Amino acid sequence: MTAPQNPLLNDRDVEFLLYEVLDAPRLCALPYFADHARETFDLYLQSCRRLAREVLFPTYKPVDESPPRFEGGGVTVHPALKQVFRPLVELGMLTATRPAAVGGQQLPLVVATLAGAYLMAANLSACGYLGLTTGAAHLIETFGDDALKAAFMTRMYAGEWTGTMALTEPQAGSSLADVQTRAATTEAGHYLVRGSKIFISGGDHDLTENIVHLTLARIEGAPQGIKGVSLFAVPKRRPERGQLVPNDVEVAGVIHKIGWRGLPSLAMSFGERGDCHGYLVGSPHQGIAYMFQMMNEARIMVGVNAAATASAAYQEALGYALVRPQGRRLGAKDPQAPQVPIIEHADVRRMLLRQKAIVEGSLALVATTAMYADLADHAADAEARERAQRLLDLLTPIAKTFPAEKGFESNALAVQVHGGYGYSSEYLPEAWLRDQKLNSIHEGTTGIQGLDLLGRKAVAGGGAALMALGGEIQRTIGRAHRAGVEPAWGERLGAAMTLVGEVTAHLAEAGMRGDVERMLRHSADYMELACTVVVAWQWLAMAAAAREGLAAGASPAGFYEGKLCAAQYWFSTELPRAPALAALCRSGEDSYARMRPEWF
């Protein structure tokens, strides 16, 4: 019994999304992407696939089994990570989407996102170092002065140094208004930083000679709360007289994680000896506003990681189900008949189809979100950029949450398909399940994403983003109708989107009356509603493209029929939950709101 080699992602799915659902090559009409075409997209995709399957994936299990070690005051990572780090840099992962002026390839984010998903599916920890570095360098690119760019950004984009985001503190958690790390001015122009940070991913390692921490801190005398937080570049070693010297940045401890085990999560100490130099990025007291650029990029990256992790497990489960013999078909009467592969059993197909619906819905969601990011930055006119930005803002918490939460369910189903082998460490699904759990916590928990979606994004500008989303959904409904998709699907999606609008208006009224608790009481259920409807939109778009493919005689026909089956599943089993979720949000049901701590 030998399962086929895990492809991590289905190549045909990726091509389908890029070229049949989203028509990514149309972006090449925009000046920023003018040097690209489908040929360059395919070349990058092929390079990522090859590196993922041949180089990264073989390192995943050894890295998971041997996490980084804290010894001698520093962190040592698995030797395999050192072997794959430079190939990832040379592939262009750090700068794929960045401008040519900073050494980038100016690829559309939608292409880089799906190409990067192969790498993340192969070894998400290895990719984590590069994703964090790109985000940190991009902050300096956007807000830093020329001196900071020369000192830090250039080396980070070259892969000589890595970067982190150093936000969270032990006493503050996700509440960045409570940051207490301090920065004192000096006559030399730098700041002396002192404080503690925790859960800093990639905060120390031996992959590169230096690490630059993009750090939130308060300048002495700054206002309290969010308005007093500034952003600093704080290197592990600072440049001084042509060499790197220690910068009073120390590892205080290592967090022992259940997943993402190749990427260390650390407690960090800054300035214990009073000699930690920090360099202000941008203007004072704008740290939170600046950092949201990296946080929002990281949220989408977590969504891609979640989709990729679910995809790797789904492909593993599918391969296993195709070759694992067990039992006979229902109704078979001959006990001597050969056993059948477990995929012949209806309940296994149910589990696989649910995984397919979640995984491919997630990939479509993150790809669509990335497409809006491309348009928000590079569309031809200001109105188109503004509209795309609204949609990007609205979809970001959804694109982070759905792949993580439903991806965990999909990963659990991959374990289930493997039966007793699924919960053994000799097989990979249990490791991917552990990895996936972290994605609903990374970069803002699911609860925080729900508060952001309902409390900010959905009601911003009088609901402008929701109206823009409604327009996009109507366009997809029209495309599906023209393609010959089951008309009831479009009708149900339109009705569900109307429900979302009505619920949002109802809850916003409570907020305008000053009852913010009532408005946000069911923000988690609102997020579930939004995810269900938005992914139904993605499945309708894929169903339309599938019908178009079948009408054009494209092959294999079975690929398109599989898309239509998965779409049918979503519209039959998931979208019908929307009215109940909407009713719950409107009802104000208060069981956990009135539950007192002492009653638990």
Please list the active-site residues: 443
Tokens of 426: 């000799």
CA distances in angstroms from 439 to 193, 300, 418, listed in the order given:
30, 11, 23
Helix (H, G, I), strand (E, B), or coil: what is residue 550? helix
Give the dihedral of Cα atoms 10, 413, 399, 111; nearest 10 deg. Answer: -10
Strand-pair category, 191-201 with 277-280: antiparallel
Cα angle 18, 22, 28 (rounded to 5 degrees) comes to: 75
Helix (H, G, I), strand (E, B), or coil: what is residue 502? helix
Pair 180, 171: CB distance under 8 Å = yes
For residue 291, which of 229, 333, 373 has the smallest C-alpha distance?
229
Strands (E), 271-366: 277-280
Whether omega before 556 lies within 30 degrees of 0, making that bond cis, reads yes
CA distance 221 to 590: 42
Looking at beta carbons, which pairs linking 583-589 to residues 24 or more positions away fall under 8 Å? 584/522, 584/525, 585/503, 585/506, 585/507, 585/522, 585/525, 585/526, 585/529, 586/503, 586/506, 586/507, 588/518, 588/521, 588/522, 589/522
For residue 266, which of 179, 194, 170, 202 has the smallest C-alpha distance?
202
Number of C-beta neighbours around residue 43 at 10 A: 12
